[in-house]
Amino acid sequence: MNVSSGFHARQLAVVGLGLMGGSMALALRGYADHIVGVELNEPARRYALEQGIVDEATDDLRAGVKDADVVVLAAPVRVILSIVRGRIGTYLRSNTFLIDIGSTKEDICMAMGVLPIGIQAVGGHPMTGKEVSGIDASDALLYRKRPFVLCPTRRTTPAARLRALAFVEALGAEVIEMDAHRHDRTVAAISHLPYLLSAALVATVKSEGDKDDAVWQLAAGGFRDTSRLAASDLSMMGDILSTNTQAVAALLARFRAQLALLEAALIDEDGEEITDLLRPVRQARIDWSSKYERKR
Amino acid sequence: MNVSSGFHARQLAVVGLGLMGGSMALALRGYADHIVGVELNEPARRYALEQGIVDEATDDLRAGVKDADVVVLAAPVRVILSIVRGRIGTYLRSNTFLIDIGSTKEDICMAMGVLPIGIQAVGGHPMTGKEVSGIDASDALLYRKRPFVLCPTRRTTPAARLRALAFVEALGAEVIEMDAHRHDRTVAAISHLPYLLSAALVATVKSEGDKDDAVWQLAAGGFRDTSRLAASDLSMMGDILSTNTQAVAALLARFRAQLALLEAALIDEDGEEITDLLRPVRQARIDWSSKYERKR
């Protein structure tokens, strides 16, 4: 056990052995006496056991979490929601610390808020990932020096909050606390909106490329970067969008207004107006890059 | 002189000594007996001379091009247009081969088409670049294995076309021939539309980030990629957009239609429809990546 952080788990249960859950187990190895993985997929369970990522693996949620004092839900948003809304409240011991890592937080935190009193539940969202998925891509350093958002629920006691802070510190991540509504609005702007733009761009280019293959052939770095998110996992993105519809729709409306301003100046052939619109935008992107962009 | 290509210049004039022009001079060093650079910026001229990128440098267009048998216009689109529409037709010897590397082609090719008969003029657009600009970033391999579009003009005789093909071969680039209208429509889809989306995205995120700095703080890889083009050079993009307004407006209309389909499915909370829309888009992006994406 690492003594530099206040975090310790006698028995840690990680529900979902994919990239995120596997990396979580690896990162917390020094902070947990025993790690149990809960996963329906048999090859993932076997891999996690063979590689020593977990000490024990099961496909039975109840068996996996009933003796845990720390439970991490590392599954897609809809799966987390069905677990929290389901029977997990009756499986957990009182005083168990429960955290999830779902990409949207309002629905999940609301569901956590009606768990039995005594369960210490906090919503979490680590801003990290990889181009590849699956437990075989697990990386003990995946969370290190990356933002990790914590959102309080009605079951976040002061003690639960301190455990959550220690948990994030143990991962080596950088904590940011905010309420779930503000979180969902924020990620709608920086993540879900970019995904939809990327998808609609590829749909547009595809309608051109279907008529003229040179479109695909000439596409280079600008298209590559702007369209990359369109290749994201569909079921993951479906869960995310469907649990954040209102914020995404609000950001789409704001985006359309911004795009319309640019288009109007373009059609007016008003070069000065276009430049006046684009200058602060360019500067904002440059400022973000120098202040916050994490270089790979 | 390299004998593997049919291209040879007795005197090559490169008009514009930036990244593109400097790289062009370096790449054609073995194919030209004498290279003259034309550039208004004195430090760029000095650098080009000191580094042996050119043999001679001048700020006088007439002096630079009057004895050339090959002239490359490597300037921003509006500068190329004003040169072609200006007096260069009277400066050039008959039979001189003239090519440009501007990012939009219809206006430039139209202007080239009314140059004096005898000038062998072809429109060009190399699909290459770097994050940095300026002659000090010049790279002899910048054009190698990258697409180089050639667009015929009314001054593209069969002999001019053969010279253009040999020119592209000498650069080590991959030639794609198409008419200027099709070129401009294509780059509107894969380059100018992505730029506008990127800029409108940053404008949207900025309006959120101005209220809540956590927006900038949490922005990660998805935002980074989708917003990268928003940091592009403003005067370059202004030239490009203002010489391709019609195609860009057409692509914007198609983009809005695609985005509206996604949004309608989202608001309807019709997960199946969203997935049905996104699946072929995701596949198209993956197919493009495996077939055409050039890895750095």
Same domain assignment for residues A32 and A150: yes
Same domain assignment for residues B231 and B260: yes
Residue finishing a domain among B129, B154, B178: B178
Assess if residue A29 is contained within a domain: yes
Confidence of residue A295 (pLDDT cuts 50, 70, 90): low
Decide: A231 and B286 in contact? Cβ < 8 Å: yes
DSSP A153-221: -TT--HHHHHHHHHHHHHHT-EEEE--HHHHHHHHIIIIIHHHHHHHHHHHHHHHHHTT-THHHHH--H
In angstroms, the separation between the Cα of residue B63 and the nearest Cα of chain A is 32
Same domain assignment for residues B155 and B81: yes
Residue finishing a domain among B150, B178, B206: B178
Assess if residue B39 is contained within a domain: yes
Beta-carbon contacts of B13 under 8 Å, excluding residues fewer than 6 positions away, are: B35, B36, B37, B38, B64, B65, B68, B70, B71, B72
Same domain assignment for residues B64 and B13: yes
What is the Cβ-side half-sphere exposure of residue A174, based on CA atoms within 13 angstroms?
Answer: 10
Assess if residue A4 is contained within a domain: no
Which of A288, A290, A293 should be substituted to probe chain B, the one whose Cβ sees the most B Cβ atoms within 10 Å?
A: A288
What CATH number is given to the structural domain containing A240?
Answer: 1.10.3660.10
What residue in A sits closest to B149 (Cα-Cα)?
A: A218
Quote the ipTM score. 0.92
Same domain assignment for residues B78 and B221: no
Once rounded to an integer, what is the mean pLDDT over residues A7-13? 97
Nearest Cα to B190, choosing from A201, A194, A255?
A: A201
Confidence of residue B39 (pLDDT cuts 50, 70, 90): very high
Residue spans of alpha helices (H) in chain A: 19-27, 42-50, 61-65, 77-85, 88-91, 106-112, 158-171, 180-187, 193-209, 214-218, 221-227, 234-242, 245-267, 271-291
How many domains is chain B built from? 2
Q: Is A36 helix (H, G, I), strand (E, B) or coil?
A: strand
Q: Is B145 helix (H, G, I), strand (E, B) or coil?
A: coil
Once rounded to an integer, what is the mean pLDDT over residues A145-160? 97
**CB-CB under 8 Å, B228 with A249:** no
Decide: A67 and A16 in contact? Cβ < 8 Å: no
Domain of residue A267, residue span: 183-291
Q: Which of B149, B190, B198 faces A215 most closely, judged by CB atoms?
A: B190
Return the beta strands (E) in chain B as ranges.
Answer: 9-15, 32-38, 56-58, 70-73, 97-100, 120-126, 147-152, 174-177
Assess if residue B60 is contained within a domain: yes
**B129-140, pLDDT tens digit by residue?**
887 889 999 999
**How far is B278 from A144, CA to CA, in rounded Å?**
32
Same domain assignment for residues B24 and B169: yes
Same domain assignment for residues B158 and B204: no
Residue finishing a domain among A111, A144, A178: A178
Q: Which of A147, A208, A271 faces B218 most closely, judged by CB atoms?
A: A147
Assess if residue B53 is contained within a domain: yes
Assess if residue A296 is contained within a domain: no
Say what percent of chain A tops pLDDT 70: 98
Is the pLDDT reported for residue A175 higher than 90?
A: yes
Same domain assignment for residues A160 and A203: no
Same domain assignment for residues B103 and B67: yes
Same domain assignment for residues A155 and A59: yes
What CATH number is given to the structural domain containing A93?
Answer: 3.40.50.720
Q: Which of B128, B187, B281 faces A230 most closely, judged by CB atoms?
A: B281
Assess if residue A2 is contained within a domain: no
Is the pLDDT reported for residue B296 higher than 80?
A: no
Confidence of residue B218 (pLDDT cuts 50, 70, 90): very high
Decide: B92 and B120 in contact? Cβ < 8 Å: no
Same domain assignment for residues A122 and A189: no
Three-class DSSP labels, B62-91:
HHHHCCCCEEEECCCHHHHHHHHHCCHHHH
Same domain assignment for residues B202 and B173: no
Assess if residue B158 is contained within a domain: yes
pLDDT at B3: 41
Decide: B182 and A214 in contact? Cβ < 8 Å: yes
